[in-house]
């Protein structure tokens, strides 16, 4: 049985009558890597700030190790945060930045030196002790910020888009490095990002937020393969979302055609969203496809071509390693497993 280290129960947060978080329920197990994922302004940073103690929830309770900690100030929580813009102290050098928390705890000098050197080794920046913060690159500053939080041996580490300011290549390296670090030292990470790929790569569990409401919580694989609604489907990877009608169990109609699918349990003739991943659509000869269409655009994306196929007044996005000429008439096929049926969201 896994132990819940952090639990948010019915958390609501209002800023001047504006609801930023609406009834958030979420728990984080010990040693888990949980990612809060959503577009900017969805409330993910606010959630993190509530866990860190920088905001108090308007309603609901925050539990840490089974105890309510709503009103505990940040400096009394066994939680450390890595802030979005690193927020390194400009008046202190690398060593002093990392030693900040340890000095507050009044540790022995020798112990501080030992711990700081150990953590610097962990983040791969030995011999950087006396460097000025401003002389470091973005990636190095990022590592120092992580080291400064980790050196306090928190039970939970909160990370607010820590890789947002890094270039793509460095970001990918740091993703793997962070994940390895988390596994190695075995502490709980709560990670905030708007980058869906980052979330899928690193997390054990992903919670997707939109407009202050949790849309779905699950493992990266579950969320990718079984998105709960059209928002999740669209946010995690690219999707074709088509209006459809559920005629019967395993029978759906969209684009004026009836398809077999693997979903059931909807009411008869219910309006639903049909979600099809661009990589699941296969382009065939005009006469062999289930749908007929015309190639409207072809963009080279590196590994694959991204093509827009206009069929039955809908523009399907198709990913394929094969290139088809612009303007040619083609057919589209797909298997029943590739058709995902979602309930229409209320709004």
Partner 1 sequence: MKNKAKLLTYPYIVWMGLFIILPVLLVFLYSITFNEINNIKTISFTINNYKMFFTPVYIQVTLRSIYLAALSTIICLALGYPIAMIIANSKMTSKSILLLLFILPMWMNMLLRTYAWMTILGNNGLINTLLANLGLPTLNLLYNNGAVILGMVYNFIPFMVLPIYTTLSKMDNSLIEVSEDLGANKVQTFIKVIFPLSLPGVISGIIMVFMPAVSSFVIPKLLGGGKDALIGTLIEKLFSLGDWNFGSAVSIVMMFIILLSMAVMNRFDVDKEGGAGLW
Binding site for partner 1 (CB under 8 A): 52-54, 73-75, 79-81, 83-85, 87, 89-91, 100-101, 104-105, 148-149, 152
| Shortest spacing between CB 80 and partner 1, in angstroms | 6
Residue 151 or 342: which CB sits closer to partner 1?
151
Straight-line distance from the first to the last Cα atom of the chain, in angstroms, rounded to the nearest whole number: 38
| Shortest spacing between CB 87 and partner 1, in angstroms | 4
Residue 80 or 210: which CB sits closer to partner 1?
80
Query: How is residue 226 annotated by DSSP?
Result: S
| Shortest spacing between CB 158 and partner 1, in angstroms | 9
| Shortest spacing between CB 104 and partner 1, in angstroms | 5
Residue 8 or 157: which CB sits closer to partner 1?
157
Residue 78 or 297: which CB sits closer to partner 1?
78
The structure tokens listed for 71 are 């009103």
Residue 73 or 325: which CB sits closer to partner 1?
73
Query: Directed axis angle between helix 168-185 and helix 138-150, to 10°?
Result: 20
SS3 56: coil
Residue 55 or 204: which CB sits closer to partner 1?
55
Distance CA 23, CA 280 (A): 35
| Shortest spacing between CB 9 and partner 1, in angstroms | 23
Residue 144 or 334: which CB sits closer to partner 1?
144
The backbone torsions φ and ψ at residue 35, rounded to the nearest 5 degrees and listed phi first, read -115, 130
Burial 56-80 (b: 16+ CB within 10 A, else e): ebeebebbbeeeebeebeeeebebb
CA-wise closest residue to 82 among 92, 70, 67, 97 = 97
CA-wise closest residue to 142 among 89, 93, 85 = 85
User: DSSP characters for 242-293?
Assistant: EEEEEEETTEEEETTEEEE-S---PPTTEEEEEEE-TTT-EEE-TTTSSEEE
Distance CA 236, CA 194 (A): 10
| Shortest spacing between CB 312 and partner 1, in angstroms | 51
| Shortest spacing between CB 141 and partner 1, in angstroms | 13
């Amino acid at each position: 049985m896994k132990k819940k280290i952090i639990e948010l129960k019915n958390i609501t947060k209002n800023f001047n009558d504006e609801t930023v978080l609406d009834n958030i329920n979420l728990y984080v197990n010990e040693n888990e890597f949980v990612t809060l994922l959503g577009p900017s302004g969805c409330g993910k940073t606010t959630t993190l700030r509530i866990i860190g103690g920088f905001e108090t929830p308007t309603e609901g309770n925050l539990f840490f190790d089974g105890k309510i900690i709503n009103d505990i100030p940040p400096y009394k929580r066994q939680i450390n945060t890595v802030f979005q813009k690193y927020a390194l102290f400009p008046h202190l050098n690398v060593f002093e930045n990392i030693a900040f928390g340890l000095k507050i705890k009044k540790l022995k000098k020798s112990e501080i030196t030992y711990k700081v050197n150990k953590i610097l080794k962990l983040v791969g920046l030995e011999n950087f002790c006396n460097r000025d913060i401003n002389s470091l690159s973005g990636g190095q500053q990022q590592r120092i910020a992580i080291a400064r939080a980790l050196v306090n041996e928190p039970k939970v580490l909160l990370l607010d888009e820590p890789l947002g300011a890094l270039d793509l290549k460095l970001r990918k390296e740091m993703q793997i490095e962070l994940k390895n670090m988390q596994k190695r030292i075995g502490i709980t990470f709560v990670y905030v990002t708007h980058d869906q790929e980052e979330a899928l790569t690193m997390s054990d569990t992903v919670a997707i937020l939109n407009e202050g409401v949790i849309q779905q919580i699950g493992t990266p694989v579950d969320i990718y393969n079984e998105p709960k609604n059209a928002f999740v489907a669209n946010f995690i990877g690219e999707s074709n979302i088509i209006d459809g009608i559920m005629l019967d169990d395993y029978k759906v109609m969209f684009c004026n055609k009836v398809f077999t699918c693997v979903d059931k349990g909807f009411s008869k003739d219910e309006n639903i969203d049909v979600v099809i991943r661009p990589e699941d659509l296969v382009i065939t000869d005009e006469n062999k496809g289930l749908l007929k269409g015309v190639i409207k655009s072809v963009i080279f994306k590196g590994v694959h071509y991204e093509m827009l196929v206009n069929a039955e007044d809908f523009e399907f996005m198709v990913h394929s390693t094969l290139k088809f000429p612009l303007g040619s008439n083609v057919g589209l096929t797909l298997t029943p497993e590739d058709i995902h049926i979602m309930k229409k969201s209320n709004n």
